[in-house]
Amino acid sequence: MPTLAELTLRFTLLSLVAFGGGNATLPEMHRIVVEQNHWLTDATFTELFAIAQAAPGPNILVVSLIGLQLAGIPGFLAVTVAFCVPPSLLMYGFFRWWQTHANPVWRTQIQAVIGPLAAGLVLTGGGLIAITATSASGSWTTVALTAATIPLVLLVPWNPLWWIAIGAGLGLLGFI
């Protein structure tokens, strides 16, 4: 199991490449925590992801859950701080600078690259969870539910909470 210092360092570094937010960092988190260091199994990783999805608040809280799982409440706090504070400081400095040196053209150009970069990371994160979940359950119903969710979410403007509740219900009844 990792030490608190190691966790703090890992998640600080991760926070600095976390373009696109929480779900966009899922592939890198999985690479570090599951593939490289074997701190968590695939099954636990995806279940922690599910808990963070079902809870209110920013999706990045999955990092806090990973910290809790690996090092208890100190791990929860260390990882949350390591993941939230460095980007906040960067943002603070950048916004200060921006208020006096604004250059909208430059921002638009960077945004035109970071937008699709983040979209690619989010798609990779979703795909990773889908593939991991399917290989863990070995059941076609998992893939079917994921595949059915995508068009439903895009076409029916419900609060995501309802889709999550339906998924939980189907799981509880033993369909998944």
Partner 1 sequence: MTIVTPGRTPPTISLGELFRGFCLIGLSGFGGVMPWARRYIVERYHWLDPEEFAALLGLGQVMPGPNVMNLSVCIGQKFQGWRGAVVAPLGMLLAPMIIVLLLGLAYLRFGDQPVVHAVLRGVIAVGAGLIIATGLKMLYVYRRRPLALAIALAIIVAVGGLRLSLLPVVVVVLTLGIVLERLWGRR
Q: Which of residues 54-73 bind partner 1 (CB under 8 A)?
A: 54-61, 64-65, 68-69, 73
CB of 92 to partner 1, least distance (A): 5
CB of 49 to partner 1, least distance (A): 6
Q: Per rule CB under 8 A, is residue 97 in the interface with partner 1?
A: no
139's CB contacts (< 8 A; 6+ apart) are 176
Q: Do residues 111 and 44 lie in contact, with contact meaning Cβ atoms separated by under 8 Å?
A: no
Q: Per rule CB under 8 A, is residue 171 in the interface with partner 1?
A: yes
C-beta atoms surrounding 112 within 10 Å:
10
Q: Do residues 40 and 142 lie in contact, with contact meaning Cβ atoms separated by under 8 Å?
A: no
Residue 94, φ and ψ in degrees, nearest 5: -65, -40
CB of 165 to partner 1, least distance (A): 9
Q: Per rule CB under 8 A, is residue 118 in the interface with partner 1?
A: yes
Residue from 34, 39, 53, 82 binding partner 1 (CB under 8 A): 53
Q: Per rule CB under 8 A, is residue 1 in the interface with partner 1?
A: no
Task: Name residues contacting partner 1, limited to 124-153 (CB under 8 A).
Answer: 124-130, 133, 137, 141-143, 145-150, 152-153
Of 155, 161, 129, which is closest to residue 142 (Cα–Cα)?
A: 129
161's CB contacts (< 8 A; 6+ apart) are none
